[in-house]
Each structure stands twice: as C-alpha cells, then as structure tokens.
Amino acid sequence: MAMSIESRRVIELRLEQLHKAMASSDVLKDPRKYADLSREYKKLEALISRFREYDRIENEIAGAKELMLSQESELREVAEKEYNVLRDRLQAISDEIEDMSNPDYDEFQKNCIIEIRAGTGGDEASLFAADLFRMYQKFVEAHRFKAEILSSHASDIGGYKEIIFLISGTNAYRLLRFEKGVHRVQRIPKTEAGGRIHTSTATVAVLPEVEETQLAIDPNDLRVDTFRAGGHGGQNVNKVSSAVRLTHLPTGMVVVCQDERSQHKNREKAMKILRARLAEAEQQKRDAEIHEQRQKQVGTGDRSEKVRTYNFPQNRITDHRIGLTLYKLDSIMDGELDEVIDELEKHERSGQHSK
C-alpha cells in the first residue's frame, strides 16, 4: 500500500503550490476558488499524514516480528499481541487511504440533508416516518453530530407526512448515504384495534449539503413568496408572513419552509434544501448524458427501491441490498445503526475490489 517517494513528492509539491495560491490576492477575492483550493489542500494534507502513519506502523510491525522470534515466551506473547493490534491498525489506515482515493471522497465528508416522507399506509406511515426520524436523531447523538430541522409537516396523530433535516458533522454523508430508498415496516399499528399486522412505507432521500460557494443560484431565477405559517410555532405564528416558498423558475422546483418564526431563517433553510436538490438533479442529468449511473454494489439508492424492512413482531430488520438480517430491531430503532452501515460499506468495498 506504500506510495512511491516520487508520488508523495508530487503531492507535497502540490501542497506547496496550494499554500501559495491560497495566500494570493486574486484567490482571496474569490470565495468559491478559495473554498475549492482549501478543500483540496486539506484532503492532500490528510492523505500525506495517513501515508506517514502507514510507514510508521509498518516499521513497528517489523520490530514486533523480530521480537516474536525471541527465545523468551513472555516476550513472544507480548510481541504477538502487539503485532495483531498493529496489523489491524494498518488495515484500517489502508482502508482510509482507499476511501480518500475514492472520487466521491470530498462528497462523503459533507454534512447531509435527509428528507423523510410518509408513503403507503396512511396514518401508520406517518408514525413510521416519525420513528425513522427518531432513529436518526439517536444515531446523530451517538456520533456527536448535530441535527437541525429544516422543514416539517406533521400529521394529525403525531407523525410526520414529511420532515427534512440537516445533519452536520464530518463524514455525515458517508455514513448515511445508504439510507436513501424505500423503508418498509411490518407491525400492529397503534390505531388498529383488531391486532392485525400492517405493512407501511416511508421514503428516505439523503443529499450531501451544497455550500453557497459551490453552487450559485441567480436571484433572477427565483420567485420568493411569503405567507402566514400554519401549524406549531406559538401564538405569533399566524400574525406575520414568516413562511417562505421558493420557486426555481428554470426547473420548476419548489421548496417551502415555515417552521421558524423568522422569515429570514425560513428562507435560509429553504435555500439549503434547494441547493442540495439542484445539485442532485444536475448530477443525475450528467449521469444520463454519459449513460452511466453511479450505481454501487449495494444498489442505486433510487427512491423507488425498497432497501430495508423493519419487522416489529419478530424484532427483525432486513437490508435487502446485501441480504443482511439482524434480530435486534429494538436497538437499531434506538440509533444503533453502525453494524448495518459497516456491513454495507464492506459489501461496497468488496465489490470495488472485484472490478
């Protein structure tokens, strides 16, 4: 896995070039250019750091192997334990280097916007959407990320017809990108007196957050409408026109935000959603033009694709893309998604290796 001295020197020279460029007056006057160079600099700096650590651990492994040949049994035992720890660490760094070499690496590092919408199943579908939101909230807390609701549309019985939220934290999109698709639940609804098991669905979309410097939207392409918000928000919610509806005229894309009392905050949140959706639409357009979809081994992530089933009577969760079944639905609904995510990433990585 070690990189040649020549290749590393190329990266180091590029870092020097980037450092000088970022200090130039021309780049400092251009926020988008500065942001692009800064992202490249951080990535290459981290890559060089990983390779140096890889070399250091390789040297430590060589030392441990020598000690494993010792005549003293206690010393050999200690060396074997150290060797196993170092070997696992070396593999982890190798995986990190491979991830950083992935063309999607920069995208993986981003915050992400998750949109959950109730599907088939009426009221039960809206309750399931709320359960999924709670599951992701628990996951966010465990990883010390931050979740911020951008827009929501509650149902009459305490669920969500739709909820859109931003998850902020390094690697947020990488960890949650597999969640996109149709999620199916099988359980006895609280609203069902007869005790029959119902099947309902919710649709999850996961979009990498797009910064303003990465995608500029011409103000002339936007129609902005304000109106009085409905729903929760207190006594003042309907007294001022705080709700915002953005219409992107070239595409007809519409985003509505009304959760905040401030019109400015609602507009800011609506712009985050709009930028993410426009970027996704542009990527899909590019994919169609070159007749190749960015399909991973775990599936396309298309919103019409059933990705997972949550069976409450059996405490079972099944991810259909990789045939993974776990009988620990209760803990997974409490946000313990890491085992599922790890298996999806392993499957994706093994598929890339086989190409």
Structure tokens at 308: 């997972």
Task: Report yes or no: 217 and 274 within 8 Å, Cβ to Cβ.
Answer: yes
Angle between helices 31-67 and 5-22 (to 10 degrees): 150
> What rounded mean pLDDT belongs to the chain?
84
pLDDT at residue 46, as a whole number: 85
At residue 255, does pLDDT exceed 80?
yes
pLDDT given at position 333: 97
Residue 300 has pLDDT above 60, yes or no: no
Question: Which pLDDT tens digit goes with each residue over 72-82?
Answer: 888 888 889 99
Of 130 and 264, more confident: 130
Q: Is the dihedral of CA 25, 26, 28, 34 positive or negative?
A: negative
Rounded mean pLDDT, 230-239: 49
pLDDT tens profile 172-198: 999 999 999 999 999 988 766 667 888
CA distance 292 to 125: 34
CB 255 within 8 A of CB 245: yes
pLDDT at 122: 87
Res. 232 pLDDT band, cuts 50 70 90: very low
User: pLDDT of 261-294, one tens digit each?
Assistant: 888 889 989 998 998 898 888 877 766 654 443 3
pLDDT at 348: 86
In the chain, the N- to C-terminal Cα span, in Å, equals 18
Residue pair 320/306 in contact (Cβ under 8 Å)? The answer is: yes
Fold of 109-212+298-353: Alpha-Beta Plaits (3.30.70)
The pLDDT of 157-168, averaged and rounded, is 92
Yes or no: say if 204 and 132 are a contact pair by the CB < 8 Å rule: yes
Asked if pLDDT for residue 249 goes beyond 80, the answer is: yes
Three-state DSSP at 233 gives: coil
Task: Tell me what pLDDT residue 193 has.
Answer: 63
Residue with tokens 């928000």: 233
Let me know: does 100 contact 48? Beta carbons within 8 Å: no
Query: Contact, 146 vs 168, CB < 8 A?
Result: yes
- SS3 assignment, position 125: helix
Contacts 24+ apart (CB under 8 A), 340-349: 341/175, 341/176, 341/178, 343/319, 344/178, 344/298, 344/319, 345/178, 347/297, 347/298, 347/321, 347/322, 348/296, 348/297, 348/298, 349/95, 349/98
What is residue 281's predicted lDDT score, i.e. its pLDDT?
A: 85
pLDDT in tens, 31-73: 878 888 888 888 888 888 888 899 899 999 998 898 888 888 8
- What pLDDT sits at residue 85? 92
Is the pLDDT reported for residue 355 higher than 90?
no
Give the CA-trace dihedral at 271, 160, 302, 308, to 10 degrees: 140
Q: Provide CATH code, domain 219-289.
A: 3.30.160.20
Q: For residue 213, what are its two tokens?
A: 């410097």
pLDDT of 10 over the 90 cut: no
What residues does each domain of the chain span? 5-101, 109-212+298-353, 219-289
What H or E segment, with its residue span, contains residue 136?
helix 123-142
What pLDDT score does 125 carry?
93
What integer is the mean pLDDT of 336-354? 84
- Predicted local confidence at residue 132, as pLDDT: 97
DSSP letter assigned to residue 237: G
Here the contacts of 137-140 (C-beta below 8 Å, separation 24 or greater) are 137/335, 138/334, 138/335, 138/336, 139/176, 139/335, 139/336, 139/337, 140/167, 140/169, 140/335
Q: With 60 as the cut, is the pLDDT of residue 301 above it?
A: no
Class of domain 5-101: mainly alpha
DSSP secondary structure of 180-229 = -EEEEEEE--TT-TT---EEEEEEEEEEE---TTTS---GGGEEEEEE--
Q: By percentage, how much of the chain surpasses pLDDT 70? A: 86
What value does the CA radius of gyration of the chain take, rounded to a whole number of Å?
A: 24
The rounded distance, in Å, linking the Cα atoms of 329 and 340 is 11
Q: Which residue has the higher pLDDT, 348 or 6?
A: 348
Residue with tokens 């009221």: 123
What pLDDT does residue 353 have? Answer: 52
